[in-house]
Structure 1
Amino acid sequence: MTTLENAAAVLKLFSTQEIRQGHPGLSFSDVVENLKLPKSTVSRLLMTMETQGLLERDLDSRLYRIGKLLLAVSSHYLSAPLVDSVSPYMTQLSQLTQCTGYVSMLEGRDIMVMRMFPGRTYLQVVTPAGSLLPAHETAIGRAILARFSDEDVVQRFNGEYQVNSFNSPGSLGLLLARLAEVRQTGLSFANNETLQGISSLATSIFNKHRNETAGLCLSFPSPEQGKNIPEGIKEGLIAVTRQIAEKLGDEYWQ
């Protein structure tokens, strides 16, 4: 493989090894073992990637993390006027409700997490910014899809509808029925879909001046059977969404 291909393979290890923010990092041995390359080749490769800002190495542990160059590029990619404008509201809402908050945007049939706002409620698994998830299997994705017509949604999936979660709409027809409910209330709910034990409540917001749509979401431990969504989550999310909608002139929430 070329040097570029080897560098890409190293970066992919951060995903396959689930090395996220807060993880100590990737070791020299990890790269050698997974890429099946000579130690001398790996040494030169990692040194070059570190020099170019693709990687950073901790002086004490000698482990590698994603470098400032990639982080700077990704932060620009994950930035949009609408995302930036709603982020302060979501930061405050996450703190008030103790839920983990998200802002996402639609990418084809997926949603991309643009921002994550850690809440004080302990969640064993979080979804970091940059993650892609099937839109139809998430509350936030369905909140955004509900802004489109049924014809647009059918065309978007183009006969390639699949689900991974038993709790997600099992067919395109069931998805359209769920979107109709979201359009009536403005709220989208997911229970034990992307992650078992985790529920999410989401809304969407539209900036007509830039033709941007984003989803706002709060995630929290799933309520016990027979219990409702914890108090304050629904009310807080609706209040924040309406406040943003008023500033943007989003008539959907007026």
Structure 2
Amino acid sequence: MAGGAQDDRSVAERVFAIADAFERGDELTLSEVARRADLPVSTAHRLLGEWVAWGGLLRGDDGRYRVGMKLWRLGVRQPTARKLREAARPYLDDLLEATGEHVHLAVRDGLGAVYLERLSGPGAVRVISDVGTRLPLHATGVGLVLLAYAPSGTLEELLAQKPRKFLPNTLTSEKELRARLASIRATGVSRSVEELTRGAFSVAAPVRDTAGDIVAAVSIIAHAERAGEPQFVLGVRMAARGITAALVSGR
């Protein structure tokens, strides 16, 4: 423990501290996990090994750790996530058939967007998102939509973390982000080009629940040269409305 102080937490609390360490990032080094969990490196290494053995975390070839599919599957069995995926699937299938590109459904998790579903055509542009991936709100189409409708203070929290500029088009300043979020709320759609992935553009729209709150975002990620084609905006708008209607009706 930092400073050599005695750690009075139970074994279970230390295990949960390891899980909490991954709340703000997908891939962490051993030292980063130890720091976030406030554990000695040796203890963090031992507990991480147990997490990896169970399948809750994965250790990459570069030594970094990330959330594993076993932990992810437990999460998607949560009733709200399962209901969202089931309601969205027919509309995501339609978007995939119409565009042949990537189609996503994501929800907000703190300052990240977690992808509940991804469908992809054989010729779709190469992207890093996948089911279970957690990506920054400010650098993704779905993330920007979720950020635009997030509770008060979320943007300030994100800015305090000094958002990373992945590509020249990534928005990171308060002025840029406030203008983008205001535009999303005014138009009901987010459009971005090469903000996280070279050669790709994204269009996304919000999904609402029975109370009218934004609970998810649906998006298409396609080759950047297709950014001017009008069917993408129309498609995500219709899909978002369809998913919202399915949630409201309980279908």
TM over 0.5: yes
Q: Tell me if the contact between 1:161 and 1:172 (Cα under 8 Å) persists in the aligned partners.
A: no
Please name the residue that 2:209 is paired with: 207
Give the aligned partner of residue 8 of structure 1.
Answer: 51
Shift of 1:71: 6.8
Match of 1:30 in 2: none
| Residue 158 (structure 2) aligns with | 157
Distance (Å, rounded) in 2 between the aligned partners of 1:7 and 1:182: 43
How many residues in Structure 1 have an aligned counterpart in Structure 2?
Answer: 200
Contact 1:103 1:216 in 2 (8 A): yes
Alpha-carbon distance change, 133 to 70 in structure 1, aligned in 2, over 3 angstroms: closer
- Give the structure with higher Rg (CA): 1
Contact 1:187-1:203 at 8 Å conserved across structures: yes
> What is the aligned partner in structure 1 of residue 140 from structure 2?
138
TM-score when normalising by structure 2? 0.67
Q: Describe the superposition over 1:195-243 as per-residue Cα deviations: whole angstroms up to 9, x where unpaired.
A: 11111110111103495610101011111xxx74334222222222223
For 1:8, give the aligned amino acid: W
Distance 2:188 2:72 in 1: 34
Question: How far 1:177 moved relative to its partner?
Answer: 0.6
Alignment correspondent of 2:229: 230
SS at structure 1 position matched to 2:160? coil
CA distance in 2, matches of 1:187, 1:17: 38
Q: In structure 2, give the amino acid aligned to 1:16.
A: G
173, 176, 197: which is aligned to 2:199? 197
When residues 190 and 158 of structure 1 are mapped into structure 2, their CA distance, relative to the original with a 3 A threshold, is closer
Question: For 1:119-165, what per-residue CA distance to the aligned partner results, in whole angstroms no more than 9, with x for missing partners?
Answer: 2433333411111111011111111122246x433343362232222
Aligned residues of 2:95 and 2:235 also touching (Cα < 8 A): yes
Is 1:176 aligned to residue 220 of structure 2?
A: no
Backbone CA RMSD of aligned residues: 3.3
Secondary structure of 1:196 counterpart: coil
Q: Distance in 2 between matches of 1:202 and 1:124?
A: 18
In 1, the alpha carbon distance for the partners of 2:81 and 2:103 equals 16
- Counterpart of 1:232 in structure 2: which amino acid? Q
1:94 aligns with 2:138: no
Identity %: 20
Q: Is the contact between residue 146 and residue 214 of structure 2 (CA under 8 Å) also seen in structure 1?
A: no
CA displacement at 1:12 relative to structure 2: 8.6
Deviation (angstroms), 1:171: 0.7
Write out aligned runs for 1:45-64 (5 A). Answer: none
Q: How does 1:9-88 map to 2 (within 5 A)?
A: 9=52, 14=58, 16-17=60-61, 72-76=73-77, 79-88=81-90
Aligned in 2, Cα 1:248/1:4: closer, same or farther, shift over 3 Å? closer
Q: Which runs of 5+ in 2 are unaligned?
A: 1-41
Q: Give the residue type in structure 2 aligned to 1:73.
A: L
Q: Which residue identity is paired with 1:192?
A: E
Q: Which runs of 5 or more structure 1 residues have no equivalent in the other structure?
A: 19-33, 36-65
TM-score, normalising length from structure 1?
0.66
What is the rounded CA distance, in whole Å, between the counterparts of 1:123 and 1:132 in structure 2? 19
